[in-house]
């Protein structure tokens, strides 16, 4: 019975009354990217745009994005929930409402956001709700938190197109949450660029095998 209660808590988003209180002070974290040495929290070059992408465990997801052309820097953290400045353990409890996300700072030229969306959709299963494979809980839910209206339009268009492609392949409806700007609470130092520091570490990425064609509205 206790195991069932624990699982139920992980699969149910908390309310403001049931969420953990968190703290006012941000958690200590790395200042620079372990791979490219750039500042995680900026300043970013003029013209750079940012987006928060959640597609399961953020270790493998971050590595995916820092390798893409046009990406200036990446960092991992928690977003979309209630608890301010949560710890990893608090997020894992299911009582913060946050999902694990990757902050991607990128050059929007040459359809940079379209490349991010294609990688996002193809690298996880966006129909699984509060899980990715064996990783279960609200912290693994699929999410896109944009920073401007153009990104929002593009993200919504790509979700509709990819949902149609998934449906043709027999998959259920997409559960990805798409919303506006969210506070990002940077994760602890050891999570930043985790798979660069631990090359044999766990990577939970796994797509559906369905190709995402970036819609014309993104280009």
Q: What is the pLDDT of residues 79-128, one digit of tens each?
A: 999 999 999 999 999 999 999 999 999 999 999 999 999 999 999 999 99
92 an active-site residue? no
- The reported pLDDT for the residue numbered 6 is 66
Q: What is the DSSP letter of 32?
A: B
Out of 57, 92, 203, 212, which one is annotated catalytic? 57
Domains of the chain: 36-218 (3.30.1060.10)
In the block, tokens 């940077």 appear at 186
Q: What is the pLDDT of residues 179-207, one digit of tens each?
A: 999 999 999 999 999 999 999 999 999 99
Separation CA 159–CA 178 (nearest Å): 9
Separation CA 96–CA 204 (nearest Å): 22
- The reported pLDDT for the residue numbered 149 is 97
Cβ atoms < 10 Å from Cβ of 30: 18
Q: What percent of the chain has pLDDT over 90?
A: 92
């Amino acid at each position: 019975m206790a195991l069932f209660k624990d699982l139920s808590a992980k699969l149910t988003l908390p309310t403001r009354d049931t969420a953990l209180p968190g703290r006012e002070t941000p958690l200590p974290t790395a200042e620079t990217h372990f791979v490219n040495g750039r500042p995680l929290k900026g300043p970013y070059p003029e013209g750079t745009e940012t987006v928060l992408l959640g597609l399961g465990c953020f270790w493998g997801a971050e590595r995916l994005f820092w390798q893409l052309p046009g990406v200036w820097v990446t960092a991992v953290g928690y977003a979309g929930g209630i608890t301010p400045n949560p710890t990893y353990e608090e997020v894992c409890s299911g009582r913060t409402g946050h999902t694990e996300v990757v902050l991607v700072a990128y050059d929007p030229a040459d359809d940079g956001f379209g490349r991010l969306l294609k990688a996002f959709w193809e690298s996880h299963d966006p129909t699984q709700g509060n899980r990715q494979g064996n990783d279960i809980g609200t912290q693994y839910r699929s999410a896109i938190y944009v920073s401007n209206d153009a990104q929002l339009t593009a993200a919504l268009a790509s979700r509709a197109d990819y949902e149609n492609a998934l449906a043709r392949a027999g998959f259920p409806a997409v559960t990805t949450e798409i919303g506006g700007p969210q506070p990002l609470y940077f994760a602890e130092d050891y999570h930043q660029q985790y798979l660069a520091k631990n090359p044999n570490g766990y990577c939970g990425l796994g797509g559906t095998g369905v190709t995402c064609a970036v819609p014309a509205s993104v280009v």
